[in-house]
Amino acid sequence: MPEWLQGSIQQDQLAVTVLLARLIAALVLGCVVAGIFRLTLANGRDQAPGLMATLVMLTVLIAMVTLVIANSANSVALAFSLVGALSIVRFRTVVEDTRDTAFVIFAVAVGMAAGAGFWTVLLVGIPVTTIAAFVFRPRRGDSGSPECVLTVRVGAGLDPQLLLRVPFEKHLERFSLKSTSTARQGTAIEVTYGVRIRGESTPLLLIGDLHGIEGIQGVELRTKQQN
């Protein structure tokens, strides 16, 4: 190999078998992280498969990054440059539950430990984190109804919060405002909420009460799977 080409290639300090073993271990452990995440979900969300795949891939990729840093001749400078590069990565999908963020960090920590070869950290850290995830997991019985998206159109000049307060308190377990926009060339306002209907209520009862309120021009209720 020409000298100019040799100078441009980093010489690995670890054997290929060691690198392969650590990456395979990261893959297996990433599946473990994804499995713990799935087992401790309150209920099956449509975003769950995508986040599970992300956790597995993230664990392997972080292991690769850690191996690159650990085997670099100038590891400190490379570490800062890689941190700067990774900091520009953003999720395009809104992370609805802060618990999901914790599992992303879990995957990063497992990947780094696997890449650096700190097996004791993994043997102790994964069981402890698993126990914490199971102890503090959401209760399956607390969230029987699915998350829905409610869009209500009201006439311009009316306060949506005043119009919707009573039916929301009657029919909804919880709700959060997602967006507000004008409609019909400014003659109406559309407000969109993320809602969860109470167990004793139904979507038809909610829509019926909303349609009976003067000033409400239209109502649309759909589950998040339909988005």
Are both 27 and 115 inside the same structural domain? yes
Domain hosting 171: range is 145-226
Looking at residue 219, its pLDDT comes to: 92
Note whether residue 196 is domain-resident: yes
Q: What are phi and psi of 189, to 5 degrees?
A: -125, 135
Token pair belonging to 192: 């969109």
Q: Are 197 and 180 in a shared domain?
A: yes
In a domain, 189, yes or no: yes
**Which range (50-54, 84-88, 127-131) has the least confidence?**
84-88
Residue 9 has pLDDT above 50, yes or no: no
* pLDDT band with cut points at 50, 70 and 90 for residue 71: low
What are the start-end ranges of the H helices in the chain? 3-7, 16-39, 48-70, 75-86, 98-116, 119-135, 160-171, 203-211
Residues 94 and 165 in one domain: no
204 vs 185, residue with greater confidence: 204
Q: pLDDT tens digits for 55-68? A: 888 888 788 777 76
| Residue 44 forms part of a structural domain | yes
Q: Which of 121, 140, 159 is a domain's end point?
A: 140
Q: How many domains does the chain have?
A: 2
pTM of the model: 0.50
Tell me how far apart the alpha carbons of residues 103 and 52 are, in angstroms, rounded to a whole number.
10
Same domain membership, residue 176 and residue 194:
yes
